[in-house]
Amino acid sequence: MTSENEFHIFPVAGWNIGTLPEIDAIFIQIAFLTSPLQTMGQADPGRRYAFQREQLHELQRSISSALLKLENAGYQPPQGPLQ
């Protein structure tokens, strides 16, 4: 069982973003690595997720807030192995 503070990390290998004007949305597809042995070329392409306009604004605010926290915290090396 995984504790609340432990979770798996899937490093991002790239992304694809496109518009869906017919539904006033965009899609985001994030490629990711599922194993430390994978190369970038072997990344899982991920799924395409559609976001409506208001969801995009909320996502933008959330990412900006998290980035600000990260920048203010400074880098702190991990205390144990990443899972």
- With a CB cutoff of 8 Å and minimum separation 6, the contacts of 24 are 52, 53
Domain ranges, ordered by start, for the chain: 12-73
Q: Is the pLDDT of residue 1 over 50?
A: no
Angle at 48 between CA 3 and CA 63, to 5 degrees: 55
The pLDDT tens digits of the residues spanning 37-71 come to 888 889 999 999 999 999 999 999 999 999 999 99
Whole-Å CA distances, 60 to 6, 36, 44, 56: 26, 29, 24, 6
* Average pLDDT over every residue of 8-32: 96
Task: Provide the whole-model pTM.
Answer: 0.72
Q: How far apart are the first and last CA of the chain?
A: 13
